[in-house]
A and B are shown apart, each in its own frame.
Chain A
Amino acid sequence: ETGVTQTPRHLVMGMTNKKSLKCEQHLGHNAMYWYKQSAKKPLELMFVYNFKEQTENNSVPSRFSPECPNSSHLFLHLHTLQPEDSALYLCASSQDTGLNQRKLFFGSGTQLSVL
């Protein structure tokens, strides 16, 4: 496999459920990101990890909890979500968070629906 792989591709969950999104990159990159994509809105940066350390939390509600066990894997743990959290969640990676962040490689995303 190459590139950035996200699972699952689709997820439907109730507001009381707990679920996790998974992202894996096979590019040897050191930085990984979670973005939220809602209809008719710009991509919203949620979290940034560089060398497994969280360097950015863009005022994301605590019902979203990221985890980065190593530079190749990134998780987004979800609990007690709201219907307005329904969106496409994109994982991305780059060589690092400096100027190389200009070249992001995205996964295909997880389309999340919260009922």
Chain B
Amino acid sequence: GQQLNQSPQSMFIQEGEDVSMNCTSSSIFNTWLWYKQDPGEGPVLLIALYKAGELTSNGRLTAQFGITRKDSFLNISASIPSDVGIYFCAGPNSGGSNYKLTFGKGTLLTVNP
């Protein structure tokens, strides 16, 4: 099946620093999703991307849909302690009218105050 590779697996940064993470696939995706999971909670959708080359922001978060449609990037500017959590990329496999989401393994972000 399709796999999504996220890197890095984990990051330790200082408060105020910018963060970049990415997600790659061996196959083309028509949608890229970025979710964040806070400790002890379920994932929450941050950003959805629908077009190759699209750049979308949500506050301090910016995500891009790669031109090749095989990758996506998430940037966080001026990190704060509440940015701590696991960031997942996801994309839908399509099988007729029934879509299933494939998730990456996640990037664990730790922010030191």
Contacts and interface: CB of A to CB of B under 8 A. Distances in A.
Q: Is the interface of B mostly helix, strand, loop or mixed?
A: strand
Interface stretch (A12-20, A65-73, A76-84, A97-105): A97-105
Interface string A13-30: 000000000000000000
Interface string A95-115: 001110111111111000000
Nearest to B94: A99
Indicate the size class of the contact surface on chain A: 20 to 34
Given A101-B92, A102-B31, A102-B33, A45 B101 contact: yes
A43 B99 contact: no
A98 B95 CA distance: 10
Contacts of A105: 45
B44 interface: yes
Contact of A92 (B33, B42, B102): B42
7 smallest CB-CB distances across A and B, nearest first, come from: A106-B42, A43-B103, A42-B103, A101-B99, A106-B43, A108-B41, A42-B105
